[in-house]
């Protein structure tokens, strides 16, 4: 699965796309991790899978992405990810609960985008707390690992075609936060703050 995503990344090099990831050395191993990131485009997903391959991340994603998108849909259906129906709160929270219990038991990792929908301009949207609260509750041994993503929105600023040229996609991993050290309100606030403080909004507006 990781190699498939490396292939997808390599395909974007023809567009002059480059990638930068910082902070992976901060991440603990053999513990459950909840990667919390802002969301700018579908081009967030293959780099996260590849660069975080040592942690085998799963994704919490809306069910619509489970079909119709080459490679991405395959990854979501067959990579152990959780597909939720955002119109069905009971189903969504039940699936996220199962995910939390699973990563807590097996020392796995999961990626969640609390904005819910992609920011097509790079400017951050409001973070929803519901999914994170379930993971906090049912994965008490886990760490929140905030990630700031910059410039991936530029890949699809014209839609699916043409793709943006010469973009540098940046993934900054911040200091992990151990769930047991914080109340949910504290860890949620710290996570959202550090992610949003590092989004390069000035460049987005230019």
Give the model's pLDDT for residue 89: 82
Answer for the pair 69, 42: CB distance below 8 angstroms, yes or no: yes
- pLDDT > 70? residue 1: no
CA 176, distance to chain mean position in Å, is 14
Asked whether the predicted pLDDT for residue 72 surpasses 90, the reply is: no
Extract the tokens encoding 100: 């939390």
Q: How far apart are CA 67 and CA 119, in angstroms?
A: 21
**Residue 160 tokens, joined:** 């699916």
- Percent of the chain whose predicted confidence (pLDDT) is above 90: 61
What is the distance between the alpha carbons of residues 197 and 191, in angstroms, rounded to a whole number? Answer: 10
DSSP-derived letter for residue 164 is P
DSSP β-bridge partners for residue 59:
111
Q: What does the pLDDT look like over 4-44, one tens digit per residue?
A: 788 889 889 999 999 999 999 999 999 999 999 999 998 99
Instruction: Delineate the domains of the chain, giving CATH numbers in brackets.
Output: 2-205 (3.40.1130.10)
**The pLDDT value given to residue 206:** 33
Geometric angle at alpha carbon 47, from 78 and 15, rounded to 5°: 115
CB count in 10 Å sphere of residue 120: 12
Q: Report whether 111 contacts 99 (CB < 8 A).
A: no
CA 166 – CA 97 distance, rounded (Å): 40
Cβ neighbours of residue 178 closer than 8 Å, sequence gap 6 or more: 143
Determine how β-strand 33-37 pairs with β-strand 143-150. parallel
Q: Which of 152, 128, 200, 169 is nearest to 39 (CA)?
A: 152
């Amino acid at each position: 699965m990781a190699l498939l995503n490396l292939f997808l990344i390599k395909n974007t090099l023809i567009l002059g796309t480059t990638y930068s990831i910082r902070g992976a050395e901060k991440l603990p191993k053999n513990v459950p991790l909840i990667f919390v990131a802002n969301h700018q485009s579908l081009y967030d997903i293959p780099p996260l899978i590849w660069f975080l391959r040592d942690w085998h991340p799963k994704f919490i994603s809306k069910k619509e992405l489970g079909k119709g998108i080459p490679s991405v849909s395959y990854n979501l259906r067959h990579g152990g990810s959780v597909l939720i129906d955002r119109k069905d709160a009971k189903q969504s929270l039940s699936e996220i609960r199962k995910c939390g219990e699973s990563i807590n038991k097996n020392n796995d990792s999961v990626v969640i985008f609390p904005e819910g929908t992609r920011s097509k301009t790079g400017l951050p949207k409001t973070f929803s707390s519901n999914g994170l609260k379930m993971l906090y509750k049912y994965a008490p041994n886990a760490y929140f690992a905030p990630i700031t993503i910059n410039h991936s929105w530029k890949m699809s600023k014209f839609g699916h075609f043409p793709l943006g040229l010469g973009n540098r996609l940046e993934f900054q991993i911040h200091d992990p936060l151990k769930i047991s050290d914080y109340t949910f309100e504290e860890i949620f606030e710290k996570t959202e703050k550090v992610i949003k403080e590092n989004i390069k909004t000035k460049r987005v507006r230019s």
